[in-house]
Amino acid sequence: MIGGVVHQHNGLKTAALLGLLSGLILLAGRAIGGRSGLVFALFIALAMNGYSYFFSDRLALRSMRAYPVSEVQQPRLYAVVAELAASMRMPMPALYVSPTEAPNAFATGRNPRHAAVCCTEGILALLDERELRGVLGHELAHVGNRDILISSVAATLATVITFLAHMAQMAAMFGGFGRSDDEEGPGLIGGLLFMIVGPLAAGIIQMGISRSREYQADASGAQLTGDPLALASALRKLEYGVQARPLVESPQLAPTSSLMIANPFRGGAGLGRLFSTHPPIPDRIARLEAMAGYPR
């Protein structure tokens, strides 16, 4: 059974980080337009969260041009997912394949009854059955832990904060900053501060949420399959495979990228790596090897 004290701790940590993101949106609205700005920002946050809750799965699959597959079309994929889903006592998720050579996989959907698992053609060609089972265990752990919804909401909230920062910039350019008609907005200083700090803070918090959930899915997936080294081996191949065939960064792929098992874009260095939503693969492999009893 996937659960226990560690899952409870991760759940509380994630809830706190999501609360911080929502709080940033409310602070942004107040900084831009006082009480009326706060109400406007709250409306945006609620609307975007609702949209993300119901449609994030469709958007993610569409961004990867994924198509549904059956047991006849993908017998190996279907057999592994069916076995793992039965072990977790969860409904069989819908299966999709993305027509790209970039090796990757992700799960999406707001809950286990509306879940979908997508593999790229690249990952199906790259991994053997044992490694693929490790990856799919990771993805089904995301489903069981409700990580897909959490990651989608976090990405949406971060996008709203960036949008509000752009609004603040436009307001500053056209002289719209200042106190609102209720005379409670902090005006120019607060607005300028949010323009600088807001998107940076949102990125750091989103990164924290995503990394926490990836580490937990690695551990939960390894527990589900009983084979931590299979996932470790898959991650080694994916690290090189993604570098050889990275996806091209685009606004449409940005939310989906945080759902994938490996960063689908060409890995950066320095600050780019520091602010990645994915934990470093060598760290993930080390944790999985420790689970298998390998000495550090």
Residues 6+ apart with CB under 8 A from 231: 131, 134, 135, 137, 138, 218, 221, 222, 225, 288
Active site residue 249: no
Contacts with 91 (C-beta within 8 Å, 6 or more apart), sequence order: 85, 112, 113, 115
What is the torsion angle, in degrees rounded to the nearest 10, for the CA atoms of residue 164, residue 166, residue 170 and residue 173?
120
DSSP H or E segment with residue 105: strand 105-108
Q: How many residues does the chain have?
A: 296
Residue type, 197: V
Structure tokens that stand for 262 in this block: 């490996």
Q: Are the C-beta atoms of residues 225 and 134 closer than 8 Å to each other?
A: yes
Residues facing residue 170 across a β-bridge: none
Collapse the DSSP code of 236 into the 3-class scheme (helix H, G, I; strand E, B; otherwise coil) and give the result. helix
**Marked catalytic residue, from 139, 239, 249, 289:** 139
Q: How far apart are CA 288 and CA 270, in angstroms?
A: 25
Catalytically active residues, by annotation: 139
